[in-house]
Structure formats: structure tokens, C-alpha cells
Amino acid sequence: MMKRNLILIAAALVLLGLAAFFLIVPKVLDGKYNAVFHATPYAASDKARDLHRKLIVVDLHADSLLWDRDLMARNARGHVDLPRLLEGNVALQAFTIVTKVPRGLNIESNDDQSDLITTLAVA
């Protein structure tokens, strides 16, 4: 009976851990690493605005599908959602798949051996 109770407690702890990992951790990481900073808008000349309206803007990388977000609404996290794509005159957006996650996320100091994708894939 005691062994059965220990097994039930262990199973409950594993389920709680999995629930936390899949339901809580992604939102915490998304908020930590994908915050939107609201800077004062840059002043653009009329000539620059006119040029931007004529451009076909293409963004070939966005990890937005990693996170549980409604891309149809303006978000407080991340850099891609439909309202901002329309405002930015983006004609093509590629929603990519992550194949490498550098440890420390520092473009200046990460080398090709600094990768967390295997850990994320196992998780």
C-alpha cells in the first residue's frame, strides 16, 4: 500500500511538472525574451514615407509561431503581428522554424558550438 502511494505521488509530481513546463514556462520565457520596447517614433521625412509606401517589404525570419500568441491582434510581446505588419507595409513574412538556439543569446560571443536546440527538442 505504501509503495502504491509513493507511485501515485511520483506520478502526480511528474504530471504537475509537465503541466508547468508546457503551460507556464513558455509564457514566462516569452515575456522575458520578447518584450516590446516602446521608443519615441523616429522622424521620417515625407520623401522617406513616400518611398516606404512604394517598397515591397519582405521579412524572412520570425519565430512568432513558437509562442502562444494571437497574431491577428497587436501584442505586447514579440515583433510580429498582423497590425504591425500592415503598418510596416510588409508584403511577405516568413514564419521560420528554429534550428539553433545559442546559449546566452549573445551574437557577439556565441560560437557554433553554443546550442540549446537539442535540449529544447528533448523537452
Instruction: Give the residues across from 93 on adjacent strands.
Output: 59
pLDDT of residue 123: 62
The Cβ of residue 81 has, within 10 Å, a number of other Cβ atoms equal to 21
19-69 pLDDT per residue, tens: 888 888 877 877 777 777 777 778 889 999 899 889 999 999 887 877 778
Query: According to the model, what pLDDT value does residue 101 have?
Result: 67
Note whether 58 and 90 are within 8 A (CB): yes
Task: Please give the pLDDT value at position 102.
Answer: 67
User: Which H or E run contains 54?
Assistant: helix 46-54
**Does residue 14 register a pLDDT over 70?**
yes
Q: Which range has the top average pLDDT, 74-83, 93-102, 105-114?
A: 74-83
pLDDT score for 78: 80
Tens digit of pLDDT for each residue in 80-101?
899 989 988 999 999 887 666 6
What pLDDT shows up at residue 68?
Answer: 76
Query: What is the maximum alpha-carbon separation in the chain?
Result: 79
Tell me what pLDDT residue 23 has. 81
Q: What is the pLDDT at residue 47?
A: 95
Backbone angles phi, psi at 115, to 5 degrees: -145, 135
| Alpha carbon distance 77, 31 (integer Å) | 6
Please state the φ and ψ torsions of residue 83, each to the nearest 5 degrees.
-60, -40
